[in-house]
Structure 1
């Protein structure tokens, strides 16, 4: 009887160990899948940018084709000779071809700029995940939406209920985010405070607008004062309960809506400068090609 009991006990321990290993493997697979999803999202955005550039290029070619048709029709009407082209018609054709080449180079330049921006976004996501470590914590998430990086932190991790005082554990998390921001001077951030739709009225906060704004300001001050993020690179905003990510009809949904979101913003002036320089370079290259062809 004693031997039977010991055999059953040993079998139970083996099942428990196997279940634990299966759970750890499943969690690791979940993390790997999330990372692949984020990478795929960035690549999808790059493909969409390529598609937009291709459509713009096609529309440009359509315009040029129509212009060439009109020029050709005018030449046929005036000259009545398909073999000989007038000097003016030849010049029009040459200018049209030059314009097509220039537009093609400009579209390529714009596409290169978009691709570079998406590469920066992917590198940023990688840096954030590396800095934050294991993202199994349901209170922290890093997502990419339409080429923009969002870091969402639940209020359960950041604040006590109805308070704007940041918890000690959350300060450590904000420090990791600040390190990535400080290492990448080409980006700016927006700190958004979000609440659920439950009304609040206290001596300090008259409504959810006041609470969400104060919480965003609290996070901003920690990033600036504790971790030396330049204040000119931060925008603080309270969004109250008007941008929910889940229903406010259930406790779980309201918990998801109570969050602080840090949005990583690329410096658009730098992006457009890069596009403008690419356009100018395209014009110069087109002129050089024209001179070479004439010679």
Structure 2
């Protein structure tokens, strides 16, 4: 009986021992599992903190990008405004350039018109000179000098042929020559005519003539009145002037020089009002502006330059 109890006690002790050993193993396993879970939890906490930091950084970066985006939009708006303004200015600039080109073209046409008119005037002067010299005899050409200077026709008449000796009265000998000159003047009705008297340096001794100024003007006046009264030249085209002894063409110390200085010049000039009108005329600025074509009558009456 006792032995049996001992056996039972031994079995119980063995069971308890075995149970005690199994519990320790499970306890140890649970401890390890707890430690592992603790480490994982700590890692998770660290990862969570890191993620929160990253999220905060991303949020800050997002806010900065949004701010930059707003700045870029504002800059784009300003650039667009500048571009629109530049386009408008460029368009206006193109219009201004186009106008400037039109004005330059119009000015070029105007200048070409002036050049053509001058060339035409030079041709007319040449025709006038040729017509006059052909109409004069060889004897008359000895006392008449015809030339063109700077677009103006000068007809120089000697004192000996034109006036009576020591007088300002027109001689009979000069009548035929003046009639030929008057015909040329009548053919060119758009020209003004200046009669200019000139003398040598010898003083005048007549009672009714004070000095060479008087003599030069009186002689010019005699020619003007002859052209008007005898040959029908319009008086409004005529001007009488005298330069006395102060416009010599030769030396007054020799008889030949004095003879050359005693002369009367018939100067055929353009009408100044037409000349100034032509110069002051503003060229057209439109692209289709053209200098109007001249009629044959206008071509014949073109002023001299």
User: Which category describes the TM-score, using the shorter chain as reference length?
Assistant: 0.5 to 0.7
TM-score for the superposition, normalised by structure 2: 0.61
- Equivalent residue, structure 2, for 1:252: 256
Counterparts of residues 185-200 of structure 1 (less than 5 Å): 185-200=189-204
Distance in 2, matches of 1:219 and 1:91, equals 60
Task: Please state if 1:216 is matched with 2:220.
Answer: yes
Q: Offset at 1:127?
A: 2.0
Q: Offset at 1:136?
A: 6.9
Distance in 2, matches of 1:288 and 1:163, equals 58
Distance in 2, matches of 1:109 and 1:86, equals 34
Q: 1:183 to 1:100 in 2, by over 3 A?
A: closer
- Equivalent residue, structure 2, for 1:51: none
Counterparts of residues 93-104 of structure 1 (less than 5 Å): 93-104=97-108
Q: 1:276 to 1:212 in 2, by over 3 A?
A: closer
Q: Offset at 1:257?
A: 0.2
Task: Please state if 1:283 is matched with 2:301.
Answer: no
Q: Is the 8 A contact 1:162 1:211 kept in 2?
A: no
Q: 1:98 to 1:184 in 2, by over 3 A?
A: closer
- Equivalent residue, structure 2, for 1:86: 90
Distance in 1, matches of 2:274 and 2:122, equals 14
5+ residue gaps, structure 2: 1-81, 84-88, 291-305
Q: Is the 8 A contact 1:113 1:275 kept in 2?
A: no
Distance in 1, matches of 2:241 and 2:91, equals 63
Q: Secondary structure at the match of 2:138?
A: coil
Q: Is the 8 A contact 2:102 2:285 kept in 1?
A: no
- Equivalent residue, structure 1, for 2:170: 166
Distance in 1, matches of 2:271 and 2:238, equals 12
Q: Offset at 1:274?
A: 4.8
Q: Offset at 1:195?
A: 0.5
Distance in 2, matches of 1:257 and 1:288, equals 51
1:117 alignment partner, one of 103, 108, 121: 121
Distance in 1, matches of 2:193 and 2:100, equals 44
Question: Highest CA radius of gyration, 1 or 2?
Answer: 2
Q: 1:214 to 1:93 in 2, by over 3 A?
A: closer
TM-score for the superposition, normalised by structure 1: 0.63
Q: Secondary structure at the match of 2:285?
A: helix
- Equivalent residue, structure 1, for 2:143: 139
- Equivalent residue, structure 2, for 1:232: 236
Distance in 1, matches of 2:289 and 2:164, equals 65
5+ residue gaps, structure 1: 1-77, 80-84, 290-295
Q: 1:200 to 1:102 in 2, by over 3 A?
A: same
Distance in 2, matches of 1:88 and 1:135, equals 72
Q: Offset at 1:147?
A: 0.9
RMSD of aligned alpha carbons: 2.6
1:179 alignment partner, one of 169, 176, 183: 183
Aligned residues: 206
